Structure 1
């Protein structure tokens, strides 16, 4: 059974593209967005979270804050997956213990390498 990855993003075309890429590399996936992101993540119990920042309703900043406060999800590594510049994301999220950053539009190889680095696979 492959490692489980939760994709939290409001752009369904991005979610589907990433899902296909990850599943073709042996990962299991689920997706969510906004207010459902935290309860869906708790229920799915992923090994890794790919998190977009700019989403309507509950944005990525609020999602990561809630994930880090929840005892079930606080230790799950998070890769920020955003159109924002990587340097800006590092500055904003460094103290939150984010495991990595991938900028959109993304290079498929970079995404898989970042995931493998974080998961140790």
Structure 2
């Protein structure tokens, strides 16, 4: 079975490194981007990600707005998206609902929590 590819988009190199370490240890291939525009190069490539994790607070275009754009696009609407933020849980639930994202992860995250949420989200999308 091929490794699942996860794209993590965050403007913090530290968060990207932590997410990469956790997800690679969990058996995923990981691609990172520092902003939503940089993510497009990978999202619309031949090897689409199996999951996108988007920071809510990104330069130029917030992650929840980017999630909405991706869910509205025929080429990317089937890719599950998790929002990543330190915002309060109730606000994250609202952003998930408004953007069409598939869930959220709160910062700071534990390595196991991130891997478990990624696996669960991909599994649920495949079951759809």
- TM-score norm. by structure 2 comes to 0.85
What is the CA deviation profile of residues 20-73 of structure 1, one whole-angstrom value per residue up to 9, with x for unaligned ones? 111111100111113222333112400001110101112213311221122111
Alignment RMSD: 1.7
How many equivalent pairs are there? 121
Aligned to 1:31: 32
Partners of 1:39 and 1:69 lie apart in 2 by: 18
Offset of residue 93 of structure 1: 2.2
Aligned to 1:45: 48
Partners of 1:80 and 1:113 lie apart in 2 by: 15
Q: Structure 1: which 5+ runs fail to align?
A: none
- TM-score norm. by structure 1 comes to 0.89
4+ residue runs of structure 1 moved beyond 6 angstroms?
none
Partners of 1:61 and 1:50 lie apart in 2 by: 11
Superposed counterparts of 1:71-110, under 5 Å: 71-110=74-113
Partners of 2:109 and 2:76 lie apart in 1 by: 26
Match of residue 60, structure 2, among 57, 61, 73: 57
